[in-house]
């Protein structure tokens, strides 16, 4: 026991002695939490909008005014010709162009029906879909106004049947994106710090040659590993704590659920990450290799965690892969417990899978450690 | 010059002898781009929902059928009472509950109006909002059928044309982004660590007392990585063309030049990091912790920059990846030439020169 304590002491000293690393471990992640949480939103707003009005009548002006009044559309430009509008679209200056044809008003009065050209930059397909919905909504509302105002037709027809929908947004009525992203980004930062530090740590001793020296000392391997990894576990828990405080104080993220439950889960989760880190260390010869492998898995874990894009939309085979992604479970648990107040029984499946993962990874790590040294 | 070439040769040998690293360097980006190109999408499909039908009549059944027939939803659960809603959300099994009022059909016939509550788990605001919109659209369609006999006078119909990506494929959005993060991080990491490695192992001192000039040492170290990154870029572009059917509307030659420029800027950034960091570990933490999330989040790879708060939009300008993403999307999807992207190109060029200048300056200080 005493030996472990000495190693832990030594490792802590090593971490705190490296003045260059301290800001990277403590400041950088928290700074990113504060800044980047604001960046992650799928909301589509400030759409760059332009139009080409060939009609110049009160109807066409009234229609453009509708877009002007909407909060979604921004920077109204009247392009003198379609060609200029197209080139602005190529340059990325506008994302939506409305083309109003000549004799638009006249034809509308005559035929009661007319079409408008709408061009949307669809490189981001999802955003283009949303822009399309906004444009149609505005035109739809304009149609109703046409009927009533411009042509003074009273509504004497049979009342149409309507199905009224009442949307209710539970747990986040204002659809605030930050309450969703902050817990997720915190998960990433905790994972990255603990994985990178532990993954590099032992391979560094190998590369420099000090591992050989430790191997000839009377210390047991299990003691050595526990002593090595414990400081990172503490670091991860510490980072989680500071992150949660920031989430509450700066972002006012609701914390509906049980904090102890979150800590219990995190303490097991970090063991998974440390196991992976140790495993990587054992299979690499240089820090460079360790770093590339850690990077490879982190990018996959992040992008396939359901943190930024929904897992249900992935193809079946990819959904199966996500079952092996520890970050996925951590993100789920954090969001469930923090935002919805899910209890122990609700997160039991995730908890059990994580526990199993921790046992397997650490088992593998210890086994491979013995084998390679 | 001969000495210099000899040095570059030595560096090449070093890299190619290390099979494991090479395998990682080439294998990983390929695996990643394949995985992400096929798997990642920000579309919303197959969302699990639950139904709470207080009415259970012909109309509600018809509506439920329409909803389950759409590709957006799959009905996972039928619940019987309001108090169950909370628990299905807490278990995380469904994202929304459709709550049909009592006497739905009757109300529709008698009062021409009936209501449905769309209760969504809005912890994910985007999904919640989209679900709500999709349900609305399906109902709107259904209403139109019911109201067939009533003619609506005066109507403007928008004829929408989706340009550059008419099928709204999300892979067109993600492949350029994945390509960018791979090139950026692999290149920056490689150089940042290769020089600190020499420092840490003590071999840098030996290099510095050799007759090679310091900048020759650096160029010699970077050169093989330029070569490796270019091969990486070629492989990625080929994969995106042949496997993901990404179009290259513009000039392939221009794409190649721009990619080389981007690779050099990322490598230069790596050098800058290596002049600052004393150990490999520090260098790695700076390039991974410092670059990974900002590059993913602030480059426009996943989240639209125009929706971010203004200060973040300003910060996004210092992320080289942002400019490269604009450039490749322009060349591949829009088919633009240099006259449309010269500004972005100049910015990347400026950043590269800046990174190199600062590293040279820092480097000299270290020597004194």
pLDDT tens-digit readout, A121-133? 998 888 888 898 8
ipTM of the complex: 0.85
Size of chain B in residues: 368
Mind listing the pLDDT tens digit for each residue in A69-123? 888 898 778 899 989 998 888 888 899 999 999 999 888 888 877 889 999 999 8
For chain A, percent of residues with pLDDT exceeding 90: 40
- Residue contact A172–B122, C-beta within 8 A: yes
Of B117, B128, B162, the CB nearest to A166: B117
- Residue contact A21–B47, C-beta within 8 A: no
For chain B, percent of residues with pLDDT exceeding 90: 33
Residue B38 predicted with pLDDT over 60: yes
Query: Mean of the pLDDT values across residues B90-95?
Result: 88
Note whether A363 contacts B: Cβ–Cβ < 8 A.
no
Q: How far apart are CA B180 and CA A290, in angstroms?
A: 22
Confidence of residue A352 (pLDDT cuts 50, 70, 90): very high
- The closest alpha carbon to A181, from A292, A80, A309, belongs to A309
Closest residue of chain B to A29, computed from CA coordinates: B289
Of A18, A132, A193, the CB nearest to B160: A132
Confidence of residue B355 (pLDDT cuts 50, 70, 90): very high
Confidence of residue B225 (pLDDT cuts 50, 70, 90): confident
Buried b (16+ CB within 10 A) or exposed e, A282-292: bebebbbbbbb
Mind listing the pLDDT tens digit for each residue in A176-207? 888 999 999 999 999 999 999 998 888 888 88
Mind listing the pLDDT tens digit for each residue in A40-67? 888 888 899 999 999 999 889 999 999 9
Residues of B in contact with A292 (CB under 8 A): 21, 24-25, 28, 186, 189
Cβ-in-10-Å burial (0-12, 13-18, 19+) of A82 comes to: middle
- Residue contact A162–B113, C-beta within 8 A: yes
Question: What pLDDT score does B48 carry?
Answer: 92
Question: What pLDDT score does B368 carry?
Answer: 41
Of A21, A125, A313, the CB nearest to B173: A125
Partnered with residue B49 across adjacent β-strands are B75, B96
Note whether A64 contacts B: Cβ–Cβ < 8 A.
no
- Residue contact B197–A176, C-beta within 8 A: no
Question: What pLDDT score does A372 carry?
Answer: 52
Whole-structure pTM value: 0.87
Of A136, A295, A313, the CB nearest to B189: A295
A–B CB contacts, 8 A cutoff, strictly below: 371
Note whether A161 contacts B: Cβ–Cβ < 8 A.
yes
Best of B18, B20, B39 to substitute, by most chain A Cβ atoms within 10 angstroms, is B39
A214-233 residues touching B, CB cutoff 8 A: none
Tokens 């513009």 belong to residue: B250
Closest residue of chain B to A332, computed from CA coordinates: B92
Mind listing the pLDDT tens digit for each residue in A85-95? 988 888 888 99
Residues of B in contact with A124 (CB under 8 A): 173, 304
Give start and end residues of each alpha helix (H) in chain A.
Answer: 2-17, 21-22, 28-36, 58-69, 82-91, 104-111, 125-145, 177-208, 210-215, 221-249, 259-283, 287-303, 316-322, 326-335, 344-372
- The closest alpha carbon to A266, from A329, A336, A321, A343, belongs to A329
Mean pLDDT over each residue of chain A, to the nearest integer: 87
- Residue contact B127–A310, C-beta within 8 A: yes
Q: Are B321 and B181 in contact (CB under 8 A)?
A: yes
Rounded to 10 degrees, what is the CA torsion of A164, A169, A170, A176? Answer: -170
Q: How far apart are CA B328 and CA B179, in angstroms?
A: 10
Closest residue of chain B to A284, computed from CA coordinates: B20
């Amino acid at each position: 026991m005493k030996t472990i304590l000495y190693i832990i002491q030594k490792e802590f000293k090593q971490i705190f002695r490296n003045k260059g690393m301290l800001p990277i471990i403590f400041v950088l992640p928290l700074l990113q939490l504060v800044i980047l949480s604001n960046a992650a939103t799928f909301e589509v707003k400030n759409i760059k909008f332009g139009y080409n009005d060939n009609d110049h009548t009160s109807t066409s002006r009234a229609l453009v005014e509708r877009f002007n009044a909407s909060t979604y559309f921004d920077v109204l430009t009247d392009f003198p010709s379609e060609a200029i509008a197209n080139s602005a679209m190529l340059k990325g200056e506008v994302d939506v162009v409305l083309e109003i044809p000549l004799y638009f008003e006249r034809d509308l009065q005559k035929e009661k029906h007319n079409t408008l050209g709408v061009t949307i930059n669809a490189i981001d397909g999802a955003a283009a879909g949303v822009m399309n919905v906004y444009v149609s909504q505005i035109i739809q509302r304009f149609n109703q106004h046409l009927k009533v105002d411009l042509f003074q037709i009273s509504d004497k027809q049979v009342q149409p049947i309507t199905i009224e929908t009442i949307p209710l947004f539970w747990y986040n009525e204002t659809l605030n994106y930050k309450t969703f992203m902050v817990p997720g980004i915190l998960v990433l930062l905790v994972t990255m710090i603990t994985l990178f530090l532990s993954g590099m740590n032992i391979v560094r001793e190998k590369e420099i040659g000090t591992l050989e020296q430790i191997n000839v000392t009377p210390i047991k391997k299990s003691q050595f590993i526990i002593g090595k990894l414990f400081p990172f576990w503490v670091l991860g828990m510490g980072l989680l704590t500071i992150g949660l405080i920031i989430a509450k104080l700066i972002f006012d993220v609701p914390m509906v659920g049980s904090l102890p439950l979150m800590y219990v889960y995190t303490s097991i989760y970090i063991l998974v990450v440390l196991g992976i880190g140790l495993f990587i260390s054992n299979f690499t010869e240089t820090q460079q290799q360790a770093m590339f492998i850690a990077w490879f898995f982190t990018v996959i874990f992040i992008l396939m965690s359901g943190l930024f894009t929904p897992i249900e939309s992935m193809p079946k085979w990819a959904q199966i892969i996500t079952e092996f992604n520890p970050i996925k479970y951590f993100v789920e648990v954090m969001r469930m417990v923090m935002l919805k107040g899910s209890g122990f029984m609700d997160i039991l499946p995730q908890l059990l899978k994580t526990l199993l993962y921790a046992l397997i990874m650490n088992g593998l790590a210890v086994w491979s450690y013995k084998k390679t040294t | 010059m001969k000495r210099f070439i000899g040095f570059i040769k030595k560096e090449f040998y070093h890299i190619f002898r290390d099979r494991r690293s090479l395998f990682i360097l080439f294998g990983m980006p390929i695996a990643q781009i394949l995985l992400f190109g096929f798997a990642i999408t920000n579309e919303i499909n197959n969302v699990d929902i639950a139904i709470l039908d207080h009415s259970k009549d012909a109309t509600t059944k018809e509506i439920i059928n329409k909803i389950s027939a759409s590709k957006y939803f799959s009905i996972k659960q039928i619940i019987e009472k309001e108090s169950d809603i909370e628990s299905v959300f807490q278990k995380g099994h469904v994202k929304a509950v459709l709550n049909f009022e009592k006497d739905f059909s009757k109300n529709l016939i008698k009062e021409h109006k009936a209501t449905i509550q769309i209760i969504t788990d809005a912890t994910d605001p985007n999904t919640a909002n989209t679900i709500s919109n999709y349900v609305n659209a399906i109902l709107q369609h259904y209403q139109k059928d019911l109201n067939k006999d009533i003619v609506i006078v005066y109507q403007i119909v928008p004829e929408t044309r989706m340009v550059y990506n008419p099928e709204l494929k999300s892979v067109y959005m993600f492949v350029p982004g994945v390509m960018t993060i791979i090139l950026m991080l692999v290149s920056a990491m490689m150089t940042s660590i290769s020089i600190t490695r020499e420092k840490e192992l003590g071999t840098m001192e030996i290099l510095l007392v050799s007759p090679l000039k310091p900048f020759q040492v650096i160029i010699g170290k970077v050169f093989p990585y330029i070569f490796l990154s270019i091969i990486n870029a070629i492989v990625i572009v080929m994969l995106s063309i042949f496997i993901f059917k990404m179009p290259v509307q513009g000039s392939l030659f221009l794409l190649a030049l721009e990619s080389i420029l981007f690779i050099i800027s990322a490598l230069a950034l790596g050098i800058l990091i290596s002049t600052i960091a004393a150990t490999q570990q520090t260098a790695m933490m700076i390039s991974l912790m410092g670059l990974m999330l900002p590059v993913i989040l602030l480059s426009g790879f996943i989240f639209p920059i125009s929706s971010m708060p203004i200060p973040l939009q300003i910060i996004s300008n210092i992320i080289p990846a942002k400019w490269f993403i604009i450039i490749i999307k322009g060349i591949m999807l829009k088919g633009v030439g240099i006259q449309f992207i010269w500004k972005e190109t100049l910015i990347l060029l400026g950043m590269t020169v800046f990174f190199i200048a600062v590293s040279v300056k820092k480097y000299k200080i270290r020597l004194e």
